[in-house]
């Protein structure tokens, strides 16, 4: 059992760090020892989902729920997967069972479950964004924010995805929503500055980065982008050419010049 605990601990560490290949290696070794833990199946399901092995992911989540029917996280993971695959009826059934097993408030999903749902959608959005599938990423971030509109980190990611998809105006709207509620949220200030910079509104970008630096003087991103903007402005501004100054001639030099002119030989005229 000590070996099993060590394998699970190592697998979970890599899983938490999103090092999914290494996590999968350790967790598969646990299964080979014929040990069946719900959380091991759940983590393997997440890894399979991330890698696009959807059938395997469904199998792992289902096996986790067979071991522990009240395993909320596995049920949420499976519901999100069903939803992404368009299997809405299956997703709806799972959401329904989650509501039955949790405390209800006016028919709303319990806050802890809403938080988990938001984070799951955001994680999937991160994956889509990392491979350039921006419409899918935007959709996942919006689903996450539907459950928790005040998750400012996710709304900032939505603003980034919109900018990367070429929609800078909507990107700015998302950052402004964040900063209206939390003016000191530096990630939104930094990303707002990048969007302004993308729109060639350099002065506005500099204001955003300076505001971030005021809030967090050690912010490396704000420092870096401000240095970049300064260097760019220097390159863009042509150097001012100085007009050549007229050389001053000393009185002595003037006298020598005049004397030389008066004593210069005259041209001889030919006699006819």
pLDDT tens by residue, the chain, 272 residues: 568 788 888 988 888 888 999 999 999 999 998 888 888 999 999 999 999 999 999 999 999 888 887 777 788 888 888 888 888 777 777 766 665 655 444 455 667 677 878 888 998 898 888 889 999 999 999 999 998 999 999 999 999 999 999 999 999 999 999 999 999 999 999 999 999 999 989 899 999 999 999 999 998 889 988 987 777 666 555 555 555 555 555 555 555 555 555 555 554 444 44
On whether the CB atoms of residues 137 and 129 are closer than 8 A, the answer is yes
Enter the CATH code of domain 1-101. Answer: 1.25.40.10
Distance between CA atoms of 105 and 98, rounded to whole angstroms? Answer: 13
DSSP label of 102: S
Task: Map residue 105 onto helix, strand or coil.
Answer: strand
Exposed / middle / buried, residue 135 (Cβ in 10 Å: 0-12, 13-18, 19+) = exposed
Q: What is the pTM of this model?
A: 0.54
Phi, psi of 250, deg, nearest 5: -70, 155
Exposed / middle / buried, residue 247 (Cβ in 10 Å: 0-12, 13-18, 19+) = exposed
Task: Map residue 178 onto helix, strand or coil.
Answer: helix
C-alpha of 160 from chain center = 6
Provide the token pair at 27: 């967790």
Angle, to 10 degrees, between the axis of helix 111-130 and the axis of helix 72-84?
Answer: 50
Nearest CA to 118 among 152, 95, 94, 146? 146
On whether the CB atoms of residues 116 and 86 are closer than 8 A, the answer is no
Provide the token pair at 83: 């939803």
Query: Exposure string (b/e) for 186-207, b if CB count within 10 Å is 16 or more?
Result: bbbbbbbbbbbbeeebeebbbe
């Amino acid at each position: 059992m000590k070996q099993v605990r060590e394998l699970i601990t190592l697998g979970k560490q890599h899983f938490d760090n999103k090092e999914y290949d290494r996590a999968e290696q350790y967790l598969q070794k646990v299964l080979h020892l014929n040990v069946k833990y719900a959380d091991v199946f759940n983590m393997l399901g997440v890894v399979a989902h991330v890698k696009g092995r959807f059938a395997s992911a469904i199998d792992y989540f289902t096996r986790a729920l067979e071991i522990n029917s009240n395993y909320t996280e596995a049920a949420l993971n499976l519901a999100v997967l069903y939803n992404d695959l368009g299997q809405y009826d299956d997703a709806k059934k799972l959401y329904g069972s989650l509501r039955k097993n949790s405390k209800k408030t006016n028919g709303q999903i319990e806050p802890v479950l809403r938080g988990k749902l938001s984070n799951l959608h955001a994680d999937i959005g991160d994956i889509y964004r990392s491979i350039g599938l921006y419409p899918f990423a935007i959709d996942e971030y919006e689903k996450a924010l539907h459950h928790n509109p005040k998750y400012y980190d996710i709304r900032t990611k939505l603003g980034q995805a919109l900018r990367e998809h070429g929609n800078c105006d909507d990107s700015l709207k998302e950052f402004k929503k964040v900063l209206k509620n939390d003016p000191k949220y530096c990630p939104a200030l930094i990303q707002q500055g990048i969007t302004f910079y993308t729109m060639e509104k350099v002065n506005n970008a500099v204001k955003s980065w300076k505001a971030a630096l005021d809030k967090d003087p050690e912010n490396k991103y704000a420092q870096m982008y401000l240095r970049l903007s300064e260097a760019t402005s220097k390159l863009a501004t042509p150097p001012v050419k100085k007009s050549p100054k007229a050389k001053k001639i000393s009185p002595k030099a003037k006298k020598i010049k005049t004397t030389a002119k008066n004593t210069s030989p005259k041209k001889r005229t030919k006699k006819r």
